[in-house]
Structure 1
Amino acid sequence: MATRSRSSRKAQPPRRPNRWKRVLGWTFGIGLTVAILGLIALVIAVYTARSSLPSFDELKSSPNGQMIRVHAADGTILVSLGPSYGEWIPYAEIPAPMRDAMVAVEDRRFRSHIGVDPVGIARGIQVSFQRDKRVAGVSTITQQLARNVFLTSNRSYGRKLREGILALALERKFTKDQILELYLNKAYFGGGAYGVDAASRKFFGHPAQTLSTSESAIVAGLVKAPSNYSPTADADAAVARGRVVLRLMKQQGVASAAGVEESDIQAVKLAPEPMQNSVRYFTDWALPQLEMLIDETVEPIDVWTTLDLGMQRAADEAIRANAPAGAQGALVALDRGGEVRAMVGGKDYVSSIYNRATQATRQPGSAFKLFVYLAALEAGHKPDDQVVDEAVTINGWSPRNSSRRFSGAINIRTAFAYSINTIAAKLGQEIGFGTIADMARRFGITTPVNTHPSMVLGTSDVRLIDMTRAFASVAQEGVAVTPYGITRVTANNQVIYAHEVDTSRVLVAPYVAAEMTDLLQTAVSTGTARAAQIGRPVAGKTGTTSSNKDGWFLGFSSGITTGVWMGRDDARPISGLQGGTAPARAFASFMKRAVANRPIEQFETEVTLPEWQLEPDEETYFGEPDNGAMMVDADGNPVDQPAPTPQATEEQPDPVTGETPSETQRLDQEWLDRMTGRGTPPNRPPVSAQPPREPPPRDQDGERPYQ
């Protein structure tokens, strides 16, 4: 019996260790080893990062963004763009409600964690698998500080790992109070404001030391989404977010929140956003050019511009005072070298940032005849050349004058002064419409120019700044003028860009520019554009498009060239708008102030200015203005207009001669020559041999067509 029992025990196979226990043991051992090695690596990484961190004082002095200060020509700061930094506020001076609010909404366990919050990390990992594997979650204040100062906002596991290591290093190097001080002085709160002091000054108009609990709750609530909750973007959203912060403070038992009601936040007075004046039209145009002028830099820079604040104020007031109700206006003023001294892109920058001086493209009307006559003069014509105002048809197009009559033989100076459409058409046919288009492009017109016959009447859309540039080039005796707004750029008081004016490009011969100036001065001296007179020599041209949709005046005097445009953004007609009315008055209003301190300059070809104060009122001679002469649509096709209804006016005797207009003061060559101080042109029969003519109404440019 005993023998069988022993033999049976010997027959049983030996027991083997459990395989899964061995696997588990090995796994635990490997995991423990990896964890220990990882912990050692983490400690090494943290202390390596700690040793490379800047000191507290170095972190205080390093801005985290670029600031751009824009100066006027006299050095006055026009606007500061980019990040705004307030005063650095030490921890002890930051109001307790501000510190408490930030901790309550951003990191309630700030005082107890070691730089990272395991709960936040677990939440971030969970959400990352639910939202397209992007890392998400609530970072601690220390992690946010590490990201704001040392890292980017790129969402990746690598960035989160580096953020965590830096946060642990920051906690090893600085105290909690120092970390909170750094965070509150560097966090972005929206509206370009960095730090609690900048935010307090921008949103409430006072330093951060006086922040109330309600104001602190609003500021603390901005960090989560500055672009959404910023009072400058949405005041209601900022206040609503402040109420959420206050509720969190109360839930966490924050003492500074006791006794504060959510209604108190609603009663907070937000500082009004500063009004943006017309200077912003200029800065919006000039500053984008920095990308082409300087290399990329993170240092704060100072941009010195050409803008003259006195001229800018005069330009703004001239447009506001003279633009018709419901219409917009724009003005550009250039100095001799192309310096933009004033730029107004509309009546009110706050209601519309659209810059009509540089962005809008509109038909210029007869102001475009500048290029027609430049091409004619370059081709050999002279101001005294005789031309015939008569019916003309070009490729089925027959331009008309406002009087529906023709003047016969006149000279080019007269044809330009009174903007006779048939003469412009004949000159265009003679010298070539393509040649005129090339002349326009040569003088700086950057928009497409059509070559239909009607192009001579200004049917191609242009920009005001381009037209002003063209007139400025004529004023500079045919030398190309390129508008510019930035004279130099400095960084740390070192010049990194300086503008150089190029005067090497000659567009037309000086004598051609002088002859063109002769024509332009005659147009102002003897036409209805006398509203542009400023008591010193002025050369210029009006432009009015069909149905009074656009009014232009462009001219120069004493080294300043100014272009004015008026019209509606929707291109609807404006009753009474003509180049010689509101635009010319705005030009004169601006130029009287712009050149007041400049010496009077005579043009190379002087025209004797008439003594207008001795003349009867213009309406006595010519009645009410015509609504338009040769009307064309956007494609240059003629549009019939009803004939003007004559209006009876009482004739007044000339104070000098004692004669009435119907007797001798008719709008004819003799009258023009006498008023400009010129004799009867050679080879022309005396005016008495010609049949008398009735004075015509004005044409579409607000100018009297010669008859």
Structure 2
Amino acid sequence: MGPTDHDRARGGEAPPDTRAAAREAAAAARVLGRQLGILAAGAARGAGARTRAAAAGTGPLLRGLSARLRRPGPGRAVPPDAGDAAAPVQARGWRARLARRPVLAAAALLVALPLVGLLFLVVTSFLTLPPLGGAALDPGQRALTVEADDGRVFATRGAFRGQKLTAADLPPHLAQAIIAIEDRRFYGHWGVDLRGLLRAAWRNALGGGVREGGSTITQQYVRLTSLNQEKTLRRKIQEAFLALRVESEMSKDEILLGYLNTAYFGAGAYGIDAAARRYFGKPAKALTLPEAAMLAGLVRAPSQLAPTRNFGGAKERADVVLQTMVETGAITAEAADKARAQTITLRTPPETPPGTNYFLDMVAGDVKRLADTPGDVTVRTTLNLDLQSLAEGVVARRLDAEGAKKKAGQAALVALSKDGAILAMVGGRDYEDSQFNRATQAKRQAGSLFKLFVYLTAYEKGFSPESVLVDRPVQIGDWEPQNANNRFRGAVPLSTAFALSINTIAAQLADEVGVPAVIDTARRLGVASDLPNVPSLALGSAEVTLLEMTRAYAGVLADRMPLEAYGVHAIRGGAPQPLYVHPDPKAAPGLPRDTRAMMLDSLQAVVDGGTGKAARVAGMPVGGKTGTTQEYRDAWFVGVTPDMVVGVWVGNDDNAAMNRVSGGDMPAAIFRDFVQRASAQMAKGRAKRPSAARAEPAPAAPAPAAPGAELRGVPEVIDTGTLAFRGRVVRLLGVEGEGGALARQLARYLRRREVICTPGSEAPAGSAALRCRIDGDDLASLILAAGGARASEDAPADLLSAEEQARSERAGLWRRER
């Protein structure tokens, strides 16, 4: 900032040599410190002398009091020797007078003690000054801006630091705004503004509380960089001493830049550049006048005025800043009015969808491992937001419908692409209730899911799906494996044994090929958990995570051993060159061609006619494997499609038994619900989803009705899924209505508005449910996207998507659902 800016800040006067004045003030402070030390030592010696005098007795004091009592009144004669006695008393001066006046002595003592205490505090504060810049700024978690696989920003985390401003980056109106509202005499004082302190004290006294602070920008800068934030007199004294020192060593422009680069502006933004990027999506040098005024107004109360949470308060404060700039002559009244009339648009990332936090926790650790460098970073992840929303909705809907009856309290889901990219991750029922990620952190027994490694090993060693073994009672050492139904089928081919998950056959195979060979196969496919060399390992007695098991099955599909499961595509910092880019996969050994083909056929047999029949998807080849542990404590299904691999686990956090939930039950159903709609979304790219905030419906329009089948009018609301037209009751297709407050809200929304209903082409045969429109928008989609109802089990895909969006945004009834 040049002399012209200084002149504007001071109303046209040339700036004084404040650095010279500050150096003189700093030197005077050092002399003051030495003199205060001498004074304190003298005061200590005087106190010692008074103590010794008190120990000698109180005779002189009593004699003085007696003489005072004997003093004659008006008209009384004075003894001849009285004048001679008075002379030595007067000679003793002020101490004698104090001795004659004990009340005055006590008052003097009451005044002297606080002054001595204050002097002592000033001396100790000066002698214990910390070094300039010695405060360790807590960087906190560095800021992460998180993007989905298509570039959409969906989350931010950590503390934003931005770029350090230079004098060339500082817009004049930004400097003027800060100076006007925080320290209008910044260019006129030398660190401590006595006039400003008196003005603040007077206004606070009139206002009956703290309404204005007296700290200068220099004092605030040294507090941020050299002191702690405790509110004590000692810290304020040290703040003043350090402000004098800073002014003697730094220019005004350097102090202002240091302050702007350090101050907190709310919403995790430290420094003006971080605040500009956080709130307006631009660097500080590109700020407009109204934006600069809004940011300048935040530093006094950043947490309360952050525009992301209190835009109205931030706008009112910005208006105050503009008026103050007018008063200081920084801008004209016309410029202030023009700035107030401009629309300020925030460009902040949306609130993080709650369900994505499981994935974000994992990604934050990956970023630290892959690019552990200081500064804010942007992370392009592998997450597909549409599939993520779909996965959350499918899991929640299934648990809501069957969880209580089947005593299943939790579920997790992981979807991987063929190359290992994590497309969706559900770590539990509700992140806000529990941050424990059951997809990556929970280790549970895999049950029959582990048989993949047993059969792969057997196929590699010469067995085939046509090989026949006998299902019979088996004893291996002290272990006797049992089948789930406690029956034996006799001679069966391996393809049938795998499809029906016959335990005795898997135990015999593992014993034949050797448990160490089975462990080696699991390791080659990426299983890192501890795998004990015991016969029961063949039936999944080892504890593993859902992610590593899903990764292993994906390795079979992709023919890569091991296949890496990853969630980060790229990491970018402030420089043009990215900090990290996920490398192309290196050449890795795969399975023998025949072995892989036999394994894929066996997986498909499980779904076609085995324990995984509930996972069938019409028109799509699907393979997979079920897994169920003892007493139904864990239920698994990992399924393979041509495009992705999806793993599902269902169980309870306390390891309690479920009500006969097997891998072919809820897990297979969750897989089917997810895959049959996820494949369609992947085929057409990113699907447009409804937004509850904008009440935007899904892009599916109802089929035109046959002539005469249309029903229109202003309906009455029975519940959010049921309307009445002149006595005729209409059910909305795919909506399970809610009554109470939600129905009353819908009634207010529909008041005096025409609704047109026609038969829906997606309605099941014989269903009387209709598709209804209002102003061209699908009414059922509007209701579900706003959280006004639940979607029924037979709801079309667009209505299910609308419900999932409401769930993720916790709109309407989902706000109270926990």
Query: Which band: TM-score by shorter chain?
Result: 0.5 to 0.7
Q: Is the counterpart of residue 518 in structure 1 residue 601 in structure 2? A: yes
The CA distance in 1 between the partners of 2:381 and 2:277, in whole Å, is 28
Aligned partner letter, 1:285: M
Q: Is the counterpart of residue 558 in structure 1 residue 558 in structure 2? A: no
- Count of equivalent residues: 473
- Which structure 1 segments of 5+ residues have no match? 1-31, 40-62, 119-137, 236-270, 601-707
The CA distance in 1 between the partners of 2:175 and 2:539, in whole Å, is 73
Change (3 A) 1:314 1:546: same
The CA distance in 1 between the partners of 2:469 and 2:662, in whole Å, is 27
Equivalent residue in structure 2 for 1:166, among 221, 235, 246: 246
Provide the residue aligned with 2:582 in structure 1.
Answer: 499
Provide the residue aligned with 2:705 in structure 1.
Answer: none
Q: Is the counterpart of residue 71 in structure 1 residue 153 in structure 2? A: no
Provide the residue aligned with 1:392 in structure 2.
Answer: 474
Provide the residue aligned with 1:667 in structure 2.
Answer: none
Summarize the alignment of residues 227-242 of structure 1 with structure 2, pairs less than 5 Å apart: none
Listed one character per residue, the Cα deviations across residues 128-172 of structure 1 (whole Å, up to 9, x for unaligned) are: xxxxxxxxxx99641442565x7798999x999987643545574
Provide the residue aligned with 2:380 in structure 1.
Answer: 304
Equivalent residue in structure 1 for 2:653, among 548, 569, 572: 569
Provide the residue aligned with 1:449 in structure 2.
Answer: 531
Q: Is the counterpart of residue 460 in structure 1 residue 536 in structure 2? A: no
The CA distance in 2 between the partners of 1:160 and 1:434, in whole Å, is 73
The CA distance in 1 between the partners of 2:187 and 2:505, in whole Å, is 87
Paired residues of 2:382 and 2:569 also in contact (CA < 8 A) = yes
- TM superposition shift of 1:294: 2.8
The CA distance in 1 between the partners of 2:189 and 2:178, in whole Å, is 23
Provide the residue aligned with 1:482 in structure 2.
Answer: 564
Residue 457 of structure 2 aligns to a residue whose secondary structure is helix
Q: Is the counterpart of residue 402 in structure 1 residue 478 in structure 2? A: no
The CA distance in 2 between the partners of 1:116 and 1:538, in whole Å, is 76
Paired residues of 1:558 and 1:598 also in contact (CA < 8 A) = no
Change (3 A) 1:167 1:147: farther
Identity of aligned residues (%): 37
Equivalent residue in structure 2 for 1:375, among 446, 453, 457: 457
User: What's the TM-score, normalizing by structure 1?
Assistant: 0.57
Provide the residue aligned with 1:416 in structure 2.
Answer: 498
The CA distance in 1 between the partners of 2:438 and 2:273, in whole Å, is 38
- TM superposition shift of 1:89: 11
Listed one character per residue, the Cα deviations across residues 35-65 of structure 1 (whole Å, up to 9, x for unaligned) are: 69989xxxxxxxxxxxxxxxxxxxxxxx999
- TM superposition shift of 1:319: 1.3
Residue 675 of structure 2 aligns to a residue whose secondary structure is helix
The CA distance in 2 between the partners of 1:427 and 1:297, in whole Å, is 53
- TM superposition shift of 1:354: 1.6
Q: Is the counterpart of residue 287 in structure 1 residue 367 in structure 2? A: no
Change (3 A) 1:597 1:81: closer
Equivalent residue in structure 1 for 2:389, among 313, 322, 328: 313
Equivalent residue in structure 1 for 2:628, among 544, 553, 556: 544
The CA distance in 1 between the partners of 2:416 and 2:671, in whole Å, is 13
Residue 478 of structure 2 aligns to a residue whose secondary structure is coil
The CA distance in 2 between the partners of 1:221 and 1:587, in whole Å, is 49
Aligned partner letter, 1:563: G
Summarize the alignment of residues 7-156 of structure 1 with structure 2, pairs less than 5 Å apart: 67-84=143-160, 114-115=190-191, 141-146=217-222, 148=224
The CA distance in 2 between the partners of 1:274 and 1:165, in whole Å, is 44
Listed one character per residue, the Cα deviations across residues 325-366 of structure 1 (whole Å, up to 9, x for unaligned) are: 461211111111111111111122222222111111111111
Over aligned residues, Cα RMSD in angstroms?
5.0
Summarize the alignment of residues 173-322 of structure 1 with structure 2, pairs less than 5 Å apart: 173=253, 179=256, 183=259, 186-188=262-264, 191-194=267-270, 220=300, 274=351, 276-294=353-371, 296-298=373-375, 300-322=376-398
Q: Which moved more, 1:285-294 or 1:514-523?
A: 285-294
Paired residues of 1:89 and 1:185 also in contact (CA < 8 A) = no
Listed one character per residue, the Cα deviations across residues 649-692 of structure 1 (whole Å, up to 9, x for unaligned) are: xxxxxxxxxxxxxxxxxxxxxxxxxxxxxxxxxxxxxxxxxxxx
Listed one character per residue, the Cα deviations across residues 526-583 of structure 1 (whole Å, up to 9, x for unaligned) are: 0242211112111100111112211111011012011111111111112142211111
- TM superposition shift of 1:398: 0.9
Paired residues of 1:146 and 1:167 also in contact (CA < 8 A) = no
Change (3 A) 1:514 1:446: same
Aligned partner letter, 1:555: G
The CA distance in 2 between the partners of 1:164 and 1:154, in whole Å, is 19
Listed one character per residue, the Cα deviations across residues 285-336 of structure 1 (whole Å, up to 9, x for unaligned) are: 12322233235243x4322121112211111112111232461211111111
The CA distance in 2 between the partners of 1:538 and 1:89, in whole Å, is 64
Residue 595 of structure 1 aligns to a residue whose secondary structure is helix
- TM superposition shift of 1:486: 1.3
Q: Is the counterpart of residue 435 in structure 1 residue 511 in structure 2? A: no
Residue 677 of structure 2 aligns to a residue whose secondary structure is helix
- TM superposition shift of 1:195: 6.4
- TM superposition shift of 1:521: 0.7
The CA distance in 2 between the partners of 1:465 and 1:67, in whole Å, is 27
The CA distance in 1 between the partners of 2:434 and 2:455, in whole Å, is 36
- Which structure 2 segments of 5+ residues have no match? 1-23, 32-138, 163-169, 195-213, 280-287, 311-347, 685-818
Aligned partner letter, 2:455: Y
Provide the residue aligned with 1:592 in structure 2.
Answer: 676
Paired residues of 2:190 and 2:244 also in contact (CA < 8 A) = no
Listed one character per residue, the Cα deviations across residues 226-278 of structure 1 (whole Å, up to 9, x for unaligned) are: 8xx9999xx9xxxxxxxxxxxxxxxxxxxxxxxxxxxxxxxxxxx9x946422
More relative contact order in 1 or in 2 (CA 8 Å, sep 6+)? Answer: 1
Paired residues of 1:322 and 1:583 also in contact (CA < 8 A) = no
Change (3 A) 1:274 1:37: closer
The CA distance in 2 between the partners of 1:356 and 1:65, in whole Å, is 24
Listed one character per residue, the Cα deviations across residues 85-113 of structure 1 (whole Å, up to 9, x for unaligned) are: 899995799699xx87x78xxxx999996
Paired residues of 1:330 and 1:344 also in contact (CA < 8 A) = yes
Change (3 A) 1:430 1:162: farther
- TM superposition shift of 1:497: 2.0
User: What's the TM-score, normalizing by structure 2?
Assistant: 0.50
Provide the residue aligned with 1:472 in structure 2.
Answer: 554
Provide the residue aligned with 2:70 in structure 1.
Answer: none
Summarize the alignment of residues 614-653 of structure 1 with structure 2, pairs less than 5 Å apart: none
